[in-house]
Amino acid sequence: MKKSPVKTIVAIGIGAALFFVLGRFVSIPSPVPNTNITIQYGLLGFMAVLFGPIAGVLIGLIGHFLIDLSWGYGIWWSWVIASGVFGLLMGLAGTRLKLGEGEFGGKGIAVFNVSQVISHLICWVVVAPILDILMYAEPANKVFLQGLVGGAVNIVTTAVVGTLLCLAYAATKPKKGSLKEEK
C-alpha cells in the first residue's frame, strides 16, 4: 500500500493528539513514582505499523512532549526520546506486516507482539534509564526500576490495545481476491 504524504501528516497530527489525551487523561498512577499505567503505546504501535517509522517517531516525540508539558514539571527528554524510539522501532517492524492489505492473522499478531516486546525493552530498560543517568544524573536504581515497571506495563497494554486496533483495522480492509478488492 503506497502511503500519501498528506495522509501521513494528518496521521501524525491525529496520532500525537490521541497519544497526548490517552497518556495525560487516561492513566492510573503506579506504585513506582513518576510512572503511570497508560494505553497510549498501543495506539502508537498501531499508528507506527500503519504509517511507518517517521510517523511513529513524530507521534511518540510530539505526544510525549505534550504530556510532559501539560504536567508542568518540565520536559523529561529522556522519556520523550524513548517514546520516539519506540515509534521508530514499531514503524520498522511494520514493514514486515501487511496490515494495510487487511492481513493480520496469527503470524501478524506474533510479529507485532514480539516486535513491541523487544521495542519496549530497548526503550524502557535501556534508552530511557541510560539517558536519565546521562542527562539528569538520576540514581541508577531509581531509573531502572521506573524503566522496568513502565516497560512491563507498556508491554501488556500494547499487547491488548495495539493488537485489538490492528485486528479491527485489518477487518475493515478488503481481502485479496474478494469482490470488493481495490484496484
Domain that holds residue 137: 5-172
* Alpha carbon 152 to chain centroid, angstroms: 14
In a domain, 90, yes or no: yes
Distance CA 92, CA 109 (A): 15
Residue 181 has pLDDT above 70, yes or no: no
pLDDT given at position 61 = 98
> CB count, 10 Å around CB of 5?
7
Residue 27, in any domain of the structure: yes
| Angle (CA) 147 149 155, round 5° | 95
Burial of 92 (0-12, 13-18, 19+ CB in 10 A): middle
Which tens digits make up the pLDDT trace of 130-162? 999 999 999 999 999 999 999 999 999 999 999
What CATH number has the domain bearing residue 134?
A: 1.10.1760.20
Q: Which residue has the cell 524510539?
A: 85
Residue 63 lies in a domain: yes
Looking at the structure of the chain, the number of domains it has is 1
Sign of CA dihedral 144, 145, 150, 151: positive
Does the residue 25 lie in any domain?
yes
Residue 165 lies in a domain: yes
Q: Count other C-beta atoms under 10 Å from residue 10's C-beta.
A: 13
pLDDT value at residue 110: 98
Q: What is d(CA 132, CA 104) in angstroms, rounded to the nearest whole number?
A: 36
pLDDT-derived band of residue 166, with 50, 70 and 90 as boundaries? very high
In a domain, residue 168? The reply is: yes
Reduced to 3 states (helix: H, G, I; strand: E, B; else coil), residue 9 is: helix
Q: What is the SS3 assignment for 103?
A: strand
| Cell numbers for 141 | 536504581
Q: How many CB atoms lie within 10 A of CB 56?
A: 33
